[in-house]
Structure 1
Amino acid sequence: MLSSSTSRITFIFRYSLLQIPNFVSFPSSSSLHSHSEPPSFRQVDEAVHSFTRMLSMRRTPPIIQFNKILGSLSKTKHFHAAVSLFQQLQVRGIAPSIVTLNILINCCCAMSHMKLAFSAFAKIFRMGFQPDTVTLDNNPERPLSLW
């Protein structure tokens, strides 16, 4: 099992969001980026930093706070980051809500990882949730649904 700092390093390295020398000591997110770096990378790093900080709190915040970050990453099409952060929730034993699983399904579908999407769909039933309109939405304007 990986520690949160090891998970953060793995996540950052995998998605090449930061330069190797900068993330070893975990400076503040404002010092990690040059002015020429696209704002989306800065936003993703800030989201990851907030998420990691929330995970390390003595009293873990409610799942809705994590959902806000996962949802914003999904809306900005940072699907890999959202899935990676979801995995950190799982490692910590934090139970997802139906909203969390809907976000995960949408991210997996957007990345064409249908097996993972259906696995998340099955988890909805295993946890005793009922799929809602967001889970089953087949609106062509929103092609990220399972159906």
Structure 2
Amino acid sequence: MSVRGNRKKYDRFNNVDDALTLFNNIIEKCPKPWIMEFTKLLAAIVRMKHYAVVVSMYSQMELLGVFHNVYSSNILINSFCQLNQIDFGFSVLGKMLKLGVEPDAVTLST
């Protein structure tokens, strides 16, 4: 399946419940899909403006051992900023630096 085809799967959500159902299905897969599947899902939820859901899902992903990349970290930083929790956004940036995830232009402009 092409990336474009996958992206449409995540763009068709009408509500956050559909996204949560897909998230629960994804986390039950063995082996776990790589981070880009989760990142596409997080981005779709951000487009619905459910920032607290993104924060919760990101935490669940960490507990499951999913390694984050700069894109998923940017989504989390943006969500914290939208929730007026700037300190937590800076905390994520610090964690990125500590783990060797190099911030990009999006990270620094969020």
Please indicate the TM-score interval, normalised by the length of the shorter structure: 0.7 to 0.9
Question: Residues 109-120 of structure 1: matches in 2 within 5 Å?
Answer: 109-120=81-92
How many Å separate the matches in 1 of 2:37 and 2:22?
10
Match of 1:130, SS? coil
Q: Deviation at 1:43? A: 2.0
Residue 22 of structure 2 corresponds to 50
Deviations 1:49-73 (A, max 9, x none): 1111111111100100000010111
How many Å separate the matches in 2 of 1:115 and 1:56?
32
How many Å separate the matches in 1 of 2:66 and 2:18?
21
The structure richer in helix per residue is 2
Residue 9 of structure 2 corresponds to none
Q: CA RMSD in A?
A: 1.3
Residue 85 of structure 1 corresponds to 57
Normalising by the residue count of structure 2, what TM-score does the alignment of the two structures yield?
0.84
Q: Which runs of 5+ in 1 are unaligned?
A: 1-39, 138-144
Deviations 1:16-67 (A, max 9, x none): xxxxxxxxxxxxxxxxxxxxxxxx8x52011111111111111100100000
Residue 69 of structure 1 corresponds to 41
Q: Deviation at 1:91? A: 1.0
How many Å separate the matches in 1 of 2:65 and 2:29?
14
Runs ≥4 residues deviating over 6 A: none
Aligned-residue sequence identity (percent) comes to 31
Q: Deviation at 1:86? A: 0.5
Question: Residues 1-147 of structure 1: matches in 2 within 5 Å?
Answer: 43-137=15-109, 145=110
Higher Cα Rg, which structure:
1
How many Å separate the matches in 1 of 2:36 and 2:98?
20
How many Å separate the matches in 2 of 1:132 and 1:75?
21
Q: Which runs of 5+ in 2 are unaligned?
A: 1-12
Equivalences, count:
98
